[in-house]
Amino acid sequence: MTEKAWGGRFSEKTDQTVEAFTASIAIDRRLYRHDIDGSIAHCRMLARAGIISEDDAAQLVKGLEQIRDEITNGQFVFDDRLEDIHMHVESRLFDIVGNVARKLHTARSRNDQVALDARLYLREETRHIIRQLHALRKAFVDAARANIGTVMPGYTHMQRAQPVLVSHHLMAYYEMFTRDSDRLRDALPRIDVMPLGCAALAGTTYPIDRDDTAAQLGFAAISANSMDAVADRDFMLEFLSAASICMVHFSRLSEELVLWASTEFGFIELPDAFSTGSSIMPQKKNPDVPELIRGKTGRVIGDLVALLTTMKALPMAYNRDMQEDKGALFSSVDTLQACIEVMTKMLPRVTFKQDVMRQATTTGFLNATDMADYLVGKGIPFREAHAVVGRAVAYALDHGKRLEQLTLEEMRVFSDEIDTSLFEALTVEQVVNRRTSSGGTATENVKSAVSLAGARLTAERLP
C-alpha cells in the first residue's frame, strides 16, 4: 500500500520533488519502536472498547510485532513516498494482514501519534541521561576524594586569586551536574503525559479509553486539552534548555581541562587514550576530547534556538513546521549522551600534578586577603586593612618578594599592629583551612561535602 493516506481529496499525484522535500523518514525512522508500541497499545484499547474486534486486534498486534522485528533486523525497506515512520508501518501492515490494517488508525491522527512517539522517546532518553549523569557525578566525587590534600590557585578574571583545594574545585562541577540532573528530573513529569486519543486537534467521536492506553504505555497522566496536546512542543524545549545548560557546564569544564593540560599551566596530564597527536608535529599531545565537547556545545544551544524559532509564531493547532522538531531533539540527545559518556570515562584517568599546582599558589599574592583579615582581627576596619595590604603588595613587587618573604620590620612599616603571628596566617595551609564558612574550601568542609555527596548518590533512586 503506497497510496497516500490522505489521497482521496487530490486529483494529482504528489510531485516527486515535494515527496522528497516533505519526507521525514530519514530522521523519524528511529522512532519505530515507540510508534509500534503506541500502535499496539492503541489497538488493544480499541478492542477492549468494542471499536474493533478481538480477532482484528490480534492480527494487527501480530503484524506490528513482525514489522518491529523486520526493522530491528535491518530487513525493512524504506521509501520516501511514504513520508514518515507512521505511514511506513501502516503500509507494511497492509501487506502483512490486508484490509484489516486500515482499521488501526481509527480514533487517532498522525498529529497525536507523532506527539506520542516523541514523548515515549524523550521519556526513555531523559531517564537514560539522568542515569549517565549519576555515573559522571560519582566520577567527580571519586576524583575529589582522591585529591583531598591537593591545593591549587583559584581564579577570578583568569587571574590567580586565592588558593583552594582541587577537591573543592571538582565538587563545584559535581554541584553543577547535580542541578542538571535535577532539572531533567523536574522535566520528566511534563514529558510523561500521553497525548494519544486527542486525534487531529479536537478529540474523537469514538468511545475510547485514554486511561487504558496510558496505563499500557506507562504514562503517569493524560493530556487535558486536545489542542494543546498536538500543538505544543514545550516538553522538548524544556529538555533542550536543560541540555543546553548542561552542555555549558561541560564547555566550562572542558575549557579548564584544555588550559590545565597546556605547558603554560601544566596542572594535569590527560590520558593518552583520550588525546590525539599532530599529523606534522611529532611532539604534540592534543586535548581533542575536551575541545570537541566545548565545540559541540554550540550544536545543542543551536538546537534549542532552532526549535524556539520554529515554535514562536505557530497558530493553533498542528502545523507542518513542527516536523522540524525531531532533528533538533535527536541531535541534542545524541550529543549530550556522547559527551557525558566520554567525560565519565576520561575523568578518572586525569592525573593532577600536585607539586605544580601547589607551587602555583605561592605566586600572585594569593594570601593578600588573609593579611587583610588578620588586620581586621587586630581591630582595623576592613577597607583600611585592604589599603594597608595593597601598599604592602606594591612594596613586595618592587623588591621581588612574596608577602610571606617580607621581614617583620618591613611589615610593620605598613601597620604597627603586625607581629610574628601574621606569618603563620599567610601559609597556604592556613589560607585554605581557615575558610570554614559553610561551602568554603577548608579541608574538613570539603571532606564533609564529598561524604554527603557520596551518601546522596548511594541513596538516589534512578528512573
> 104-130 pLDDT, tens per residue?
999 999 999 999 999 999 999 999 999
pTM: 0.93
How far apart CA 125 and CA 147 sit, in angstroms, is: 33
- The pLDDT tens digits for 41-60 are 999 999 999 999 999 999 99
- pLDDT value at 6 more than 60: no
Given this model, what pLDDT does residue 284 score?
87
Mean pLDDT of the chain: 95
CATH code linked to domain 7-106: 1.10.275.10
- The pLDDT tens digits for 281-301 are 888 899 999 999 999 999 999
Catalytic residues: 157, 278
Averaged pLDDT, 172-198: 98
Residue 339, CA distances (Å) to 156, 285, 286, 305, 462 in order: 27, 20, 18, 20, 20
pLDDT band at 11 (very low <50, low <70, confident <90, very high): low
Given this model, what pLDDT does residue 14 score?
67
How far apart CA 298 and CA 318 sit, in angstroms, is: 29
- pLDDT value at 438 more than 80: yes
| Residue 222: CB atoms within 10 Å | 17
Given this model, what pLDDT does residue 5 score?
59
- pLDDT value at 187 more than 70: yes
One of 1.10.3720.10, 1.10.260.40, 3.40.50.2300, 1.10.40.30 is the CATH number of 360-445, namely: 1.10.40.30
Domain ranges across the chain: 7-106, 111-204+222-352, 360-445
Whether residue 387 is preceded by a cis peptide bond, meaning omega within 30 degrees of 0, is: no
% the chain with pLDDT above 70: 97
CATH code linked to domain 111-204+222-352: 1.20.200.10
Given this model, what pLDDT does residue 7 score?
55
- Produce one character per residue of 400-416: b if its CB has 16 or more CB atoms within 10 Å, e if not: eebbbebeeebbeebbe
Q: Are 249 and 140 in contact (CB under 8 A)?
A: no
Is 111-204+222-352's fold the same as 360-445's?
no
pLDDT band at 24 (very low <50, low <70, confident <90, very high): confident
Given this model, what pLDDT does residue 1 score?
53
Report the run of H or E that residue 155 belongs to, with start and end.
strand 151-156
Given this model, what pLDDT does residue 190 score?
98
